Amino acid sequence: MRRWIFLGCCLILALQAAAQKGFTPVANMELFKQQFTKAAQQTQTIKSDFVQEKNLSMLSEKVVSKGKFWFKKENRVRMEYASPTYYLMVINGKNFRIKDARTDKNISASGNKLFEQISKITADCVQGNVLGNKDFTAKVLENPQHYLLQMTPVAKGMKDFFSGIELLVNKKDLAVIRITMQERSGDNTVISFLQREVNVAIPDELFALK
Q: Quick one: pLDDT at residue 94?
A: 81
What CATH architecture is 2-196? Clam (2.50)
The structural domains of the chain, with segments of one domain joined by +, span 2-196
Instruction: Name beta bridge partners: 66.
Output: 51, 83
Q: What is the arrangement of strands in the sheet containing 136-142, beginning at the earlier edge strand?
A: 24-25, 136-142, 146-153, 162-170, 176-183, 188-198, 45-55, 63-72, 76-83, 87-92, 95-99, 104-108
Strands (E), 59-154: 63-72, 76-83, 87-92, 95-99, 104-108, 136-142, 146-153
pLDDT at 146 over 70: yes
pLDDT at 16 over 80: no
Euclidean distance between CA atoms 60 and 44, whole angstroms: 40
11 SS3 class: coil
Q: Quick one: pLDDT at residue 9?
A: 47
pLDDT at 3 over 60: no
Ramachandran region, residue 167 (left: φ > 0; alpha: ψ -120 to 50; beta: rest): beta
- Of 103 and 110, the structure prediction assigns the larger pLDDT to 103
Average pLDDT over the chain reads 83
- Of 59 and 1, the structure prediction assigns the larger pLDDT to 59
Euclidean distance between CA atoms 27 and 87, whole angstroms: 41
pLDDT at 167 over 50: yes
